[in-house]
Structure 1
């Protein structure tokens, strides 16, 4: 390593961090912005060098599976670009949204050098990991850029010249980065101008191919500034559904829409779902006039900002009807299968979890309080095949002063009041198993740095120890708070977030699940085979469940505790939970619903007489007997809601025993 070059590079970045001008006035603003993030946000030291990091093969497979469809679509464009640059020693990387290279094209004869430099499959180029690089800076800014030689923050990478462009998904979110790099290049930064144009054009074509592949049933509108290139290489594209609303867009298409509506790019609202006429002076009915059967020069459209564009409308592809063979999904592992009773969204999440379970990849579980995050973490451990223990710790429940010793353990005599023999930390106790960090968002920032070291190096140093100890564990973390928001507020380290959410699972709240009724029956069966009468079931199904599964479990346990009367058994012997057994808040809400429900009018005069007599317990009992205990029939005869009949029956239970059911 040339000492002077290393020293001058380090000194320039350190001086820049202190507010002094850089030694090279031509530094690009994108590069300087990345340096600032590396210093202020990621807390990187320019004097500390780090070799390129290649993720383990098992982790790479997870990243590739997540980006499978994009890799397949982009591959043709990558090969085309690689052939254009044949003989110039360029390397092509496709990095996912986490900065991991999921596809790669380069000379296999240089494989060892490329791997050492990080220009290889599985290389991780996020800013918090590698400092300023084209991939990392592109992910941070969303813009195409060049990071040339000494532009790199880490001196290890200053031999490289890297050019990158973002690839956006159909909803306008940054999905991947296309990177074109050289191990060795001319000293002049301008030598990469052609590479920048080529990689931007390639990324645009990948986005267009992705939109076309996923918009076969929609109108696709392609734009160009020039009619000569409209049908062969358009600048942008959007897709429009049958109602004339935006369904998808390329990045250039999104920028065109934003400009047409006079919006600010960085603060734009969602474009998806907006009517076409919000952006142009035509609507869905005008699209057939823009098909290719007319000359390109005549297919002129005007945007709302007055800009003139040439457009090519492609009508939906009507695929011929054919029989499809749909393979049944693989059964869930038993531990995961118990977490659903048939909800489609939950089933999809659990099948994803089943694929992640055998991996060592850190998993972040997000969801509202009580949604079952720890249950999912335990199920992941049970399905992982790991022989070690499942160790759970609630980062919000342990005082900050004790959290470090609980996590890392301590040696004898490390601090006053500690156990005389010391204590093994929870991280070390999870060796060979799973460490579950609940409410990770409440972990103190100082401890976050130490946890990051554990995750990156698989080592833990107890309090008072002079050296680290190796640990083999799988980390599952959870939070009901959006960790990205905490990062923006400076309350959570971004580099730790990237480490924790290599795989992310979002648990749906209970109110959005379609399997609540089935879950009620399953939970009651687990509690001893209890049944719900209709008013109780209706009240439970109508409740919003802000506390999710935890609240549901507590409510059912409360109801079971109150459901002990001998006369509460149905003919089959199972105990019946009535509305009166539920907590007062649910009863009150049900009563309010009953008052808002219009009463069914009586059918005849005898029924009206029965209504006037129904306040009398003896008359109500007689009517129940006449209807053979059918509460629905009694409610219909009285012209009241069934919950009203149930409340009157409950008031009557203390006066005489009445055996009734809720058939029909």
Structure 2
């Protein structure tokens, strides 16, 4: 089809004609014409966002990408031989992860099949990622289905990834620069993408529901334990706390509800959807055969279910609090100047009840620091963590402020206490506060100013008293200047500011490594690390900070033999980027480490004196000690 014919067909569809295109394509074309006012006769080059914007989008999607990575790599291995590229886009349509043949990079970048490409419908017209975001459905946009003539050589298949609260979180897409003429050639691609998405959502639910009962469902017992179709999580009170997309569809179908309204599902009693109580559901474990784990759904259908019992919460938090501040404060980090300074500030600020703002890159341990502040504060109430970026915008008010009985359709008959009220007498931790919608910011400001909370649909405010600790990886001051964050709320939150350095700038990396080895050791068997693997870890830059290091040690601990981590046990990206440097310096490092230890011993552990004797400054000394895996002497 030529350019003119393509434009004429789109114009005919805009006037109401039926040209034989799939309904999903026709609806997208009409959105492009009527809602976004796009001109089909004007070709648009693919948009690649700036490095700054890409970095922001990737940081916000970091947790999902980490959980999804093994699924993405497995899918890419399945389709790479057919010349597909794989894109993971966030809910704004920006590609935050990309897998493709590097020899085609120039062509892929030009076509927009590249990291940082933006595939929202208003920007790119009809395309698989944009249409998937708009409809919430798995689909293929094949060649001339695309609105923009620039993209008509492409064939793209995408499926949505939903978060545990039922909101669209990302889109997984596989695309071809050129493909067979028939659209049906992509049916298998759609099946593969949808299967991968289902596994990613399940992994995400499992990661976020460790302390809840997880129920996995399948229509046939043979696949129940290996490839479930849907899953939900349930708290100790029997309420739905999370779900995969398949789980959302299952719950909605059981009551004749719309799965696009997750607020009617999350928080509801599990008995509203199944003809079984919490005890019966909890008993559906692997102790019985899959064919015996049958469950009746309220719409009359039967399913097979597998219950995964919740992990017991560790006693570390109450233990630290009952033992007083010193034990908690020691968990901040090793004995290096920057961490010692942070420790001093926390010791002074924690008991003061001042609002504290934590600043630091994603993965630097802001929630860990917030919990320590709570433990040192002496407050008797709970530590309640709220991820402002993870709560859907339409639910944030009811989640934070609670709601009165009958406040909206599907509300619990007795209403529900909000997270702010749950923190009464304790600490409210607002993670990624910069992502809170503007309307929510206004209501939060009122709570902080007046010391009372008004539930959604309520008429009588309730008194609350709590300590607020907030965190953001973005500069709230810059957001205030840009008009996206309330200035008066900013000054309410930042009475004190604590900054967490990125891991690459922390001199206590060896201390952190040793603590993580202790954390991931199997019961009764210490976890150790070879010198070569330690050097490799110390020479890697850790862009994902402490969270990335923690994941790497957990990964290596699962692979290693006899409790000793070798270089082969480390994740590929760590060995690939740090291996050359470690190999080049391995022989020399042994002698350097011995010399450095000798100087430190002669100086009785005084790092400043050792630095003076070696003719270097303290910063260089600490960097050299960290590289060689030498802890500061005590």
Contact 2:165 2:262 (8 Å CA) reproduced: no
What is the correspondence of 1:175-186 to structure 2 with a 5 Å cutoff? Answer: 175-186=169-180
Q: Tell me, yes or no, if structure 1 residue 13 matches structure 2 residue 7.
A: no
Q: CA deviation at 1:515?
A: 5.0
Q: Tell me, yes or no, if structure 1 residue 102 matches structure 2 residue 99.
A: no
Q: Mean alpha-carbon deviation: is it higher for 61-70 or for 8-17? A: 8-17
Q: Tell me, yes or no, if structure 1 residue 508 matches structure 2 residue 441.
A: yes
Q: C-alpha distance in 1, partners of 2:435/2:450?
A: 30
Contact 1:260 1:279 (8 Å CA) reproduced: yes
What is the correspondence of 1:130-529 to structure 2 with a 5 Å cutoff? Answer: 130-267=124-261, 269-318=263-312, 320-322=314-316, 325-326=331-332, 342-343=354-355, 347=357, 506=438, 508-509=441-442, 515-516=448-449
Output the TM-score relative to the length of structure 1: 0.51
Q: C-alpha distance in 2, partners of 1:12/1:266?
A: 32
Q: C-alpha distance in 1, partners of 2:235/2:169?
A: 23
Q: Judging changes above 3 Å, is the alpha-carbon distance between structure 1 residues 549 and 86 closer, same or farther for their aligned structure 2 residues?
A: closer
Q: C-alpha distance in 2, partners of 1:238/1:217?
A: 13
Give 2:40's aligned residue: 46
Q: 1:198 is paired with a residue of what secondary structure?
A: helix
Q: Structure 1: where are the runs of 5+ without partners? A: 332-339, 356-501, 519-538, 542-547, 554-664
Q: Judging changes above 3 Å, is the alpha-carbon distance between structure 1 residues 504 and 62 closer, same or farther for their aligned structure 2 residues?
A: farther
Give 1:582's aligned residue: none
Q: C-alpha distance in 2, partners of 1:40/1:198?
A: 33
Q: Judging changes above 3 Å, is the alpha-carbon distance between structure 1 residues 109 and 511 closer, same or farther for their aligned structure 2 residues?
A: closer
Q: Judging changes above 3 Å, is the alpha-carbon distance between structure 1 residues 510 and 159 closer, same or farther for their aligned structure 2 residues?
A: closer
Q: CA deviation at 1:51?
A: 0.7
Give 1:402's aligned residue: none
Q: In the TM superposition, what whole-angstrom CA distance separates every residue of 1:240-299 from its partner, at most 9, and x where no partner exists?
A: 111111000001101100011121334564311111100001121113320011000000
Q: C-alpha distance in 1, partners of 2:154/2:210?
A: 41
Q: Tell me, yes or no, if structure 1 residue 63 matches structure 2 residue 25.
A: no
Cα root mean square deviation, aligned:
3.2
Q: 1:290 is paired with a residue of what secondary structure?
A: coil
Select the residue among 111, 114, 127 that pairs with 1:117.
Answer: 111
Q: Judging changes above 3 Å, is the alpha-carbon distance between structure 1 residues 69 and 245 closer, same or farther for their aligned structure 2 residues?
A: same
Q: Which has the higher helix share?
A: 2
Q: Judging changes above 3 Å, is the alpha-carbon distance between structure 1 residues 175 and 63 closer, same or farther for their aligned structure 2 residues?
A: same
Contact 2:83 2:176 (8 Å CA) reproduced: yes
Q: 1:317 is paired with a residue of what secondary structure?
A: coil
Q: CA deviation at 1:93?
A: 0.4
Q: C-alpha distance in 2, partners of 1:56/1:503?
A: 20
Contact 2:166 2:262 (8 Å CA) reproduced: no
What is the correspondence of 1:77-88 to structure 2 with a 5 Å cutoff? Answer: 77-88=71-82
Q: 2:80 is paired with a residue of what secondary structure?
A: coil
Q: C-alpha distance in 1, partners of 2:57/2:132?
A: 18
Q: C-alpha distance in 2, partners of 1:31/1:159?
A: 16
Q: Tell me, yes or no, if structure 1 residue 76 matches structure 2 residue 9.
A: no
Q: Judging changes above 3 Å, is the alpha-carbon distance between structure 1 residues 244 and 62 closer, same or farther for their aligned structure 2 residues?
A: same
Select the residue among 88, 92, 108 that pairs with 2:86.
Answer: 92
- Answer with 1 or 2: which has the greater Rg: 1
What is the number of equivalent residue pairs in this alignment?
A: 363
Contact 1:81 1:202 (8 Å CA) reproduced: yes
Q: 1:184 is paired with a residue of what secondary structure?
A: coil
Output the TM-score relative to the length of structure 2: 0.53
Contact 2:33 2:39 (8 Å CA) reproduced: yes
Q: In the TM superposition, what whole-angstrom CA distance separates every residue of 1:323-373 from its partner, at most 9, and x where no partner exists?
A: 783468989xxxxxxxx99446xx36x8799x9xxxxxxxxxxxxxxxxxx
Q: C-alpha distance in 2, partners of 1:168/1:33?
A: 22
